[in-house]
Structure 1
């Protein structure tokens, strides 16, 4: 986000360097001043206590030209009392109209100047807090950690004010101790840095110089001294909520329109167990207002990875994301027996002619698992030991089926009572290093299988922070029966390991890594793995010129060589070479990038969906790809992003003309500092693609999901040569009334059309034979349409009113109903009955420290 080393779209390239030296800048120190009476938070630093505090100034430029002193000074002072840290900053500028002040949603900087406070309360040089306020008063907060890097999903309750004073702007922040964690030591030294962005000149500055060629960010902060007799407060807060929903579904089981209402209530609780650890719990959570998923047609053998939009599962999860073993969408996901309900329907009575009368049909089959509660306990001791415990519980989920003759209904269990648990131990070490131990566990009621994954990870860097070795080993275990079947799970035990050695600092960095995921390794009950049974290794090299030269701000280049095999049996899969670069021009801040790849003939053992892997594979001919992007300067009212690519495949026997191409156009227009619009049109075309078209028994390729829909080793496989055309239109608009009130609307229409030209039968060892007599039409079209409109008002710190309207429709047409023309699909989508949902939710933040009676 803020300091990513890549070139962000519409942004200047982050973190250019002042010199080739890889040693971090000396640590500067600032003394905080204890006060007895808190200053008024008004954006005016006129109290005498501010003038008595030492000043942090003489910031150093980070981008676009690193190492230069700032021309327009920044002055920062720090105060503290028994309740909070207070930061007052004055940003001098050349003129008031040089201070850009776009209003935006919380956690979105937009086209605005900003000032940031960065604190590392345990001074471990690995983990930190970021509190940023824009010149328009918009708050942004983030956490820094080795697992998540800069994590913008973290939110805290704090207060700030900004004001313009002539050619200066002032930021005043109050960061309560309840928002951060620190030790009980009588005298403390915290890691500290201040940052500033002058958006008009696309410059970023830091008080303690940050060098981009030095690995890490938190380890390049200065120090805050003078902190004495800090007492971590009782961190106890309750955020109750009430919500109400009006849901309109186009049809129920009788084909009649159906409107329902509901009223919900629950709460989020935060309790500081001690100075280091916090318990976060959500009781009877309600996630109905989260943004709709971007549904797609999935022709691959792997499941679709959706973004996590539920705040409880994105905030404060840096410990639980260590090792990438936690895919939070598993918690409250689709019931594991959701797709098997039709197989449990009772058929009707058999007649003399062999037909049947009556039988059952599905009335209701919930697609999500409702959580009863979820709890997180996390923190880090003064010795650098991070401890995290996550636990969530979901209740039984049932589908309802009905007999078409008698009308009798019965329930079919689709998800048993389940407990999800994660335990993490993460020890910070010197030199930006760590070791970690992670365990994930899913326990289900009854005989349904349980799953357990245990991992040990490490990263060790040398004292100069120029080289590092990292790695890990993971063990997965499943015990019990497959849900709905009287059979034990197969491949109960599996493992994974990886190790890498890297040069991590300097203009030239490089590395090598090697890893194995065994054929029976499976972390997918609480994690996400697209495919196991892999042996992979790669070499990479990056070269960056950080200082501006010629007509560009900096240049990033990379090259990568990768090679992989199946683990069992040890068979070749693929080999690939990848290279590219990107830069931003100094005059117009136009960012451009290009990527190239060359891949020899490969073998896809996953697409045939046959287990065990190794006998069947789909040959993919040698191919080369070229892609790139152009991103204009977001400071201008009108800006744009363009990206695209093409991949050409060599002829494979009598098959020629295979290629893929993509193009995305995304213009944006800022009408004013309050109103803006973004539009994105994406098109993708795969011509003569060869892929799984189903089994010759009639099964279709659209119920995919790795390790769940694989057929037997000797089952027949049907491949199809197809044209796949996909369009995605997304339009969004934002009107920001104030820095605490906004309205957003987002519309998305997705359509993917698949047309099959011919079919082949796939035999072992990649041999294909034509199926000219195969007549079944498997063409299909998938449409998805969503509207998400959100009004949000933060009426007090941590307290919010939100009104959300969601409109959704999805349709899937097969065979003769498939529609190849885009505007026909759009018309069909608009005329298809839609689900509508209107909800109102009120959150109110209650802090024990603010509610307790004051003594004195």
Structure 2
């Protein structure tokens, strides 16, 4: 610790004139006593009486420019919901683009959106969007960013007219949260996109040069004497599966099963909600993108399970929560082979844990204090092994495990906050437990020009077989200029050699002290042939925490622009100007590999996405000051929109590394650490297509083939000074890895919040040392290997307790059937 030289952050804030602030716009909501029909026609009398929100201002591509086509937004409310109406004028009906896409997508469409900051803290809020094709999207805002996975049950309708289109929304109070006050003052903003012109407008101006979004909202006044209703809803489901899977030594086996469960939402109070999933079923989520992993780090997968993607913004604060740990690979999955007796073989070893239940409570008090409590339980998991006589036994791979998170998040003035987070993993029996306590903060000045932010955490590994917990800690602090054309930041991060958050979070490597200085200069208004220009340059210097020794020095530069023809072009450069010390590739504590100086350059291009045919492209090249070592990546993604219902997108990604140097699993023998020189080729092909029948019914297909092979040319032994000497190695480490997945999904949202889905999934995986002659031969061989097929039907129905309030259930059932 005494050797650690903590740098002094000196932020030189020069005195400058504060730009004149544009007065915040206000709009008053009108209480309605009418029974409004959400049909997209604002023909009720109260719509005519409601005050107008007009004079929208362009945000893109020319910030500050007045609107060319008039937009009028209005707000009504009653005891049940808030209503948003908008009239969006245009030159003709056929000028309004309206591609049909899945829910939560925009596509090639005009759209209208409303953003509500119900606590008026300028950090937390909601967004509701409707395209001209009637497709809904919704999102939540927090200090953690934007959560597009959040879904609410609300109503909307669109109508198209000769010289305008109109949208009407009904957002029930059960879908949002707000303070218990006689008079509400909310932040509000409206947005309009005119797709054919690629223009975006806001009612209250949103300047791209100013940090933050909700803090640039207007104000909604006049909402009085409303109360949060009973928020109790049930989403029971039933699903049926037919599985056809290969079994070693026999033909495919077909099995069937029927499952059921329920999700429950309950409004504990005005501001807090309980979400529960009982006997969850995630069998229909998109297949993971499996890859060949030659690195010493684990592969991080996307989260596709709805319960873990919706409404988790509080739990994701600070980056301490990696939800794939829950229901992920059992703790001792990789240790089963070492427990086999002579003559035994593994019959089954599940790769995922079975989740029994999960629940979360979250909300925010009128004083801006956010509280989140998350808990989940996974079952005992066993591997089954069999001896030569056919006798079977089970090996425990993970005991009953409880996962929990508690978050406190206090919103402060000036887009600031402080947060406290605790994560805990408790396992039954002798297996170790884990705990992490962390905090984070952000303070910004009144002008929203400068900020100071940071985070810190202490991790504990509680092993009953060892005396005392194993403690580790991390801390970081950043001082930054966050607004204006010229911005910069200075950051220091410390991670001790014993810091380990990976029982609930994900960290690829610890034991580092890193400093980074970054500057950027951006032009937000059009000039010459560009609509904007973003540039940045960063220097990153890293040392080990223990022992305190040099690790790496990296220089990064980026340039990105959108041209006036709406092509996006970017270039970047990554330089390691001195030899870096890689302490992780050897996979042995205390040893390192000297990485030669190298340079990586790359660029990207995206064409105008309004066209039927659009193209995304990227390419990069990296070369080392060592032999013929180099690599290149290339990717191309054409997309074709046949019409407003049918579209295709194809992705090709390829990588080739020549004379790549790296270690491999089981690379330590007789105190020698072995590395290999290998040629690595990777090709990934992905086809996505969709046919959207209506704004509530869709058919999508995703097919992905991934092939990665590594052919070793030489083997080396790692010396004490981090260099390599050629050595003999008697085990062939070549690998040819293939996966092929198909996900076809038919989805019908037959009522608000209710869905029928039919899913077909096909999966193939091969992992061997035999190399194919070419890509076509490899692909054909992959398709001829055993494969798994799965067909499932799931019916989920949304039941709101308010549907039955003051009504006889027998009278309500016909209404439900009519909605279907």
Q: TM-score, normalised by structure 2?
A: 0.95
Q: Give 2:360's aligned residue.
A: 376
Question: Is 2:667–2:675's contact at 8 Å kept on the other side of the alignment?
Answer: no
d(CA) in 2 for partners of 1:364, 1:792: 33
Give the CA deviation at 1:362: 1.5
d(CA) in 2 for partners of 1:806, 1:675: 21
d(CA) in 2 for partners of 1:32, 1:308: 39
Indicate which of 228, 231, 234 corresponds to 1:235: 231
Q: Does 1:768 align with 2:724?
A: yes
Question: Is 2:703–2:742's contact at 8 Å kept on the other side of the alignment?
Answer: yes
Indicate which of 24, 28, 42 corresponds to 1:27: 24
User: What's the CA shift string for 1:770-814, capped at 9, x where partnerless?
Assistant: 11x434321111001000000000000000000000000110012
Q: Give 2:817's aligned residue.
A: none
Question: Is 2:315–2:405's contact at 8 Å kept on the other side of the alignment?
Answer: yes
User: Counterparts in 2 of 1:8-19, with a 5 A limit?
Assistant: none
Q: Does 1:160 align with 2:156?
A: yes
Q: Give 1:809's aligned residue.
A: 764
Q: Give 1:133's aligned residue.
A: 130
User: What's the CA shift string for 1:673-715, capped at 9, x where partnerless?
Assistant: 00000001111011111100344567xxxxxxxxxxxxxxx84
Question: Is 2:463–2:469's contact at 8 Å kept on the other side of the alignment?
Answer: no
1:568 is paired with a residue whose SS is: coil
Q: Does 1:198 align with 2:182?
A: no
Q: Give 1:16's aligned residue.
A: none
Give the CA deviation at 1:210: 0.4
Question: Is 1:803–1:839's contact at 8 Å kept on the other side of the alignment?
Answer: yes
Q: Give 1:401's aligned residue.
A: 385
2:313 is paired with a residue whose SS is: coil
Give the CA deviation at 1:22: 5.3
Q: TM-score, normalised by structure 1?
A: 0.91
User: What's the CA shift string for 1:278-327, capped at 9, x where partnerless?
Assistant: 00000000000000000000001000000000010010011001110000
Q: Does 1:61 align with 2:58?
A: yes
Q: Give 2:349's aligned residue.
A: 365
User: What's the CA shift string for 1:423-462, capped at 9, x where partnerless?
Assistant: 0000000000000000000000001100000001110011
Q: Give 1:590's aligned residue.
A: 567
d(CA) in 1 for partners of 2:756, 2:693: 14
d(CA) in 2 for partners of 1:316, 1:21: 37
Indicate which of 493, 497, 521 corresponds to 1:519: 497
Indicate which of 693, 704, 707 corresponds to 1:748: 704
Provide structure 1 residue ranges, at least 5 long, that are not aligned to the other structure.
1-19, 348-358, 482-486, 699-713
Q: Give 1:188's aligned residue.
A: 184
Question: Is 1:418–1:444's contact at 8 Å kept on the other side of the alignment?
Answer: yes
Question: Is 2:668–2:674's contact at 8 Å kept on the other side of the alignment?
Answer: no
User: What's the CA shift string for 1:363-392, capped at 9, x where partnerless?
Assistant: 221111111100010001110000000000
Q: Does 1:92 align with 2:89?
A: yes
Q: Give 1:702's aligned residue.
A: none
d(CA) in 1 for partners of 2:667, 2:374: 45
Q: Give 1:719's aligned residue.
A: 675
d(CA) in 1 for partners of 2:527, 2:429: 67
d(CA) in 1 for partners of 2:701, 2:729: 47
Q: Does 1:222 align with 2:218?
A: yes
User: Counterparts in 2 of 1:520-669, with a 5 A limit?
Assistant: 520-586=498-564, 588-600=565-577, 601-611=579-589, 614=590, 616-651=591-626, 656-669=627-640
Give the CA deviation at 1:23: 5.9
Q: Give 1:391's aligned residue.
A: 375
Aligned in 2, Cα 1:785/1:24: closer, same or farther, shift over 3 Å? farther
1:764 is paired with a residue whose SS is: coil
Q: Give 2:746's aligned residue.
A: 791
d(CA) in 2 for partners of 1:422, 1:26: 41
Give the CA deviation at 1:489: 9.2
Q: Give 1:338's aligned residue.
A: 333
Q: Does 1:74 align with 2:58?
A: no
Question: Is 2:18–2:447's contact at 8 Å kept on the other side of the alignment?
Answer: no
2:159 is paired with a residue whose SS is: strand
Indicate which of 448, 462, 479 corresponds to 2:462: 479
Indicate which of 118, 122, 127 corresponds to 2:119: 122
User: Counterparts in 2 of 1:698-737, with a 5 A limit?
Assistant: 715-737=671-693
d(CA) in 2 for partners of 1:286, 1:267: 9
d(CA) in 2 for partners of 1:151, 1:753: 37
Indicate which of 761, 778, 792 corresponds to 1:839: 792
2:344 is paired with a residue whose SS is: strand
d(CA) in 2 for partners of 1:293, 1:491: 35
Q: Does 1:289 align with 2:278?
A: no
Q: Give 2:6's aligned residue.
A: none
Q: Give 2:13's aligned residue.
A: none
d(CA) in 2 for partners of 1:660, 1:127: 44
Question: Is 1:25–1:220's contact at 8 Å kept on the other side of the alignment?
Answer: no
Aligned in 2, Cα 1:185/1:401: closer, same or farther, shift over 3 Å? same
Q: Does 1:321 align with 2:316?
A: yes
Aligned in 2, Cα 1:491/1:766: closer, same or farther, shift over 3 Å? farther
2:721 is paired with a residue whose SS is: helix
d(CA) in 1 for partners of 2:700, 2:666: 45
Question: Is 2:667–2:674's contact at 8 Å kept on the other side of the alignment?
Answer: yes
Greater RCO (Cα-Cα under 8 Å, separation 6 or more): 1
Q: Does 1:414 align with 2:392?
A: no
Q: Does 1:738 align with 2:694?
A: yes
Give the CA deviation at 1:573: 1.0
1:257 is paired with a residue whose SS is: strand
Q: Does 1:311 align with 2:306?
A: yes
Q: Which of 714-723 and 430-439 deviates more?
A: 714-723
Question: Is 1:607–1:617's contact at 8 Å kept on the other side of the alignment?
Answer: yes
1:693 is paired with a residue whose SS is: coil
Q: Give 2:451's aligned residue.
A: 468
Question: Is 2:462–2:469's contact at 8 Å kept on the other side of the alignment?
Answer: no
Question: Is 2:708–2:736's contact at 8 Å kept on the other side of the alignment?
Answer: yes
1:386 is paired with a residue whose SS is: strand
Give the CA deviation at 1:76: 0.8
1:103 is paired with a residue whose SS is: coil
d(CA) in 1 for partners of 2:22, 2:426: 50
Aligned in 2, Cα 1:370/1:694: closer, same or farther, shift over 3 Å? closer
Q: Give 2:647's aligned residue.
A: 676
Q: Give 1:711's aligned residue.
A: none
d(CA) in 2 for partners of 1:683, 1:491: 45
d(CA) in 1 for partners of 2:774, 2:722: 34
Question: Is 1:371–1:395's contact at 8 Å kept on the other side of the alignment?
Answer: yes
Give the CA deviation at 1:128: 0.7
d(CA) in 1 for partners of 2:391, 2:65: 79
Aligned in 2, Cα 1:723/1:24: closer, same or farther, shift over 3 Å? farther
d(CA) in 1 for partners of 2:767, 2:586: 23
